[in-house]
Amino acid sequence: MPAQLITRCLEAARLAPSGTNCQPWKFLVVRSAEKRRALMDAAFGQPMFDQAPVVVVLLGDTKMYRKRFRTGQELIEVGAIVREDADKALAAYKEMKPDEDDAAAIARNCMIAGQNLILEATDLGLGSCWVMLFKHEKVVELFGLPKNLLPVALIPLGHPDQDPPPRPRYPLSEVAFDESPDRPWITPPDRGT
């Protein structure tokens, strides 16, 4: 796969939004057949790791996440938020986010970056797959990851050898609500504006 296509996917991921602009992600690009086979083993034998020429290992970075308060200060400096509101947000973080919840917050931020990567890959005509079913400790061992890098997802990328129909999705009326989970969202008829 041309490096330019990979770079475009990585750029789209890098530009994703994140809470307080902390950007707690890293992207490990795996191209060697040997490492992709090792990832396949870590992912319980899922064959796409051997078939796709590239796998992006999406990593959450606890060091970057710890800088979120510094990035919050940067938001104040550029006028995106005022000090009073920043202080309220900091107090809310301290009340609602114990340190042991950091891994979940990091993963949520990383998922946005992964979505951007997958959308860009789709736009480029590439196939991809969001994989969270893998042995995290095997991935850590395979790449000798430091403690601050947490595997979040594996994303195989390649040119699909088939064009399957889109996977089924629940109808909007089952997943979107109007003011209450008891009231399904109903799109009003288009009356031509």
pLDDT in tens, 79-131: 877 878 777 776 776 776 555 578 888 999 999 999 999 999 999 999 999 99
Task: Using alpha carbons, select from 135, 162, 121 the residue that is nearest to residue 27.
Answer: 121
Residues 50-69: b if buried by 16+ CB within 10 A, e if exposed: eebebbbbbbbbeebbebbe
pLDDT at 100: 56
Domains in the chain (CATH in brackets) are 3-164 (3.40.109.10)
pLDDT given at position 22: 86
Give the pLDDT band (50/70/90) at residue 67: low
pLDDT tens digit string along 126-181? 999 999 999 999 999 999 999 999 999 999 999 987 777 888 999 988 999 999 99
Q: Which of 18-27, 30-39, 98-107 is the least confident region? A: 98-107
Residue 64 pLDDT:
82
pLDDT for position 98: 57
pTM equals: 0.83
Higher-scoring residue by pLDDT: 47, 163: 47
> E strands, 21-111, where?
25-30, 54-61
